[in-house]
Structure 1
């Protein structure tokens, strides 16, 4: 009786044929559904995460709205602050996906996830997409309070803001995962997150226009992904609100934070930069995830 032998070189090819499109899609669907179930199972935690942005919007925004002149922010300060509050709302839930990735790895849950009939990169994309959608869903809850930010209830405006907010959530989730795949301890991730969260917001012009801050913050803002996300939200508000909210600031009458030298990049370019940065971070994370999979 003759035995059939498979050469070592044929092994990866045979294994690769085991991954079907249906299996990849089902794996992504399962990971996204898991994140959404986590969100729905903890309504108290969601409310607690929304409490701080709401306090900032109602207290900080309402208190300074009459003190900050409209000429300084291209409109009312409350409307200027609202995009920054939206970013604050999604920042923690988006980046915290990285913490769950680390804890799942240390507890053995990730090892079980990797048994799914899907490529490692696909599984990582599913984790990222699930975190992105849960963060965007929490931001959508704050979008329901648009009048508190001085905005009208207009479907096109809210959809435009939700689209930009989802892109920002995708970028933050990608960056968090890119760092998490190289981090073994959740404490290290929490420390870095705690030290970077506030500086990222404040150097993005989320609360105060960068034109009112020292000039050396300009280059930092140009490297900060939240700067592009905040500008995109404000420009969307300006473009989709009747009459706009600007008084000759930056591009199209709206106060902007990002400038490349003396040039202000248009909205489409800012959106493309944010998307490419997010995809680049996810690509780097996927490569590192495959490289370190043997130690998972």
Structure 2
């Protein structure tokens, strides 16, 4: 019971931090829309997707949702560094709750904030002429939860090895953009050179984007069940590994 209450408390704190800054919510919605409207329109004028309603903007719509989840989930790992610097993390560590539960509570909290942003974008699908029904919304929400759990676990894992915000941002700049660019969010992943295709299929976000594109646009490279299995395995591994590393790292600091 204490573990569940602890997880809930950490989850609640993460969400209160997110909802307290309304500018953050606004930015998290406006930035993806700018990508869709400006980048999608500009590049879409040169790339024709004649077999898809909405053209290139519709094609990148699932990818932009995945991008939002990626940036929100991974960069929220900064909260661990902030808590460590301000001494709040020590207070959590002495509480009657296990360290894996701390990681799980933070991961669920971060995933919830990413889910909120993802659902808002799904509800704005009409902007790019993509139809949205309750079935599509629910399936997409399930995939978003899986993606965000895996990516938040990755962010927490990296934060466990990093002592400063500058170091975290430096590491992220070498990880986040390659993950996004190699996910197929902005271009089809079929017909690529073999070396680039290998990098694309190693990337776990590729399967998240493909799953969302399957559900929203009914177009994908892989079967939906394959995408879901890969994303689920990634999420479970990231949570388990980040919990293990976090426990060892913070134990050494106590």
Q: TM-score range, shorter-chain basis? A: over 0.9
CA distance in 2, matches of 1:41, 1:214: 46
CA distance in 1, matches of 2:169, 2:191: 31
CA distance in 1, matches of 2:172, 2:51: 31
Q: 5+ residue gaps in structure 2?
A: none
Shift of 1:215: 3.4
Residue from 126, 148, 152 that aligns with 1:173: 152
What residue is the counterpart of 1:277 in the other structure? 234
SS in 2 for 1:168: helix
Give runs of aligned pairs for residues 43-192 of structure 1, distance below 5 A: 43-70=22-49, 76-192=55-171
What residue is the counterpart of 2:178 in the other structure? 199
Shift of 1:137: 0.8
- Runs of 4+ deviating beyond 4 Å: 71-75
Higher relative contact order (CA 8 A, sep 6+): 2
Q: TM-score, normalised by structure 2?
A: 0.92
Shift of 1:213: 4.5
The count of aligned residue pairs is 253
CA distance in 2, matches of 1:211, 1:217: 10
Q: Which moved more, 1:123-132 or 1:175-184?
A: 175-184
Shift of 1:212: 5.7
CA distance in 1, matches of 2:165, 2:37: 33
CA distance in 2, matches of 1:214, 1:76: 24
Larger Rg: 1
Question: Can you list the C-alpha shifts for 1:254-278, whole angstroms capped at 9, x where unaligned?
Answer: 243xxxxxxxx42212211111112
What residue is the counterpart of 1:233 in the other structure? 212
Preserved contact between residue 74 and residue 255 of structure 1 (Cα < 8 Å): no
CA distance in 2, matches of 1:64, 1:70: 11
Preserved contact between residue 78 and residue 149 of structure 1 (Cα < 8 Å): yes
Preserved contact between residue 209 and residue 255 of structure 1 (Cα < 8 Å): no
Preserved contact between residue 210 and residue 217 of structure 1 (Cα < 8 Å): no
Q: 5+ residue gaps in structure 1?
A: 1-21, 240-253, 257-264
Shift of 1:196: 2.1
Q: Which has the higher helix share?
A: 2
Matched, 1:295 2:253: yes
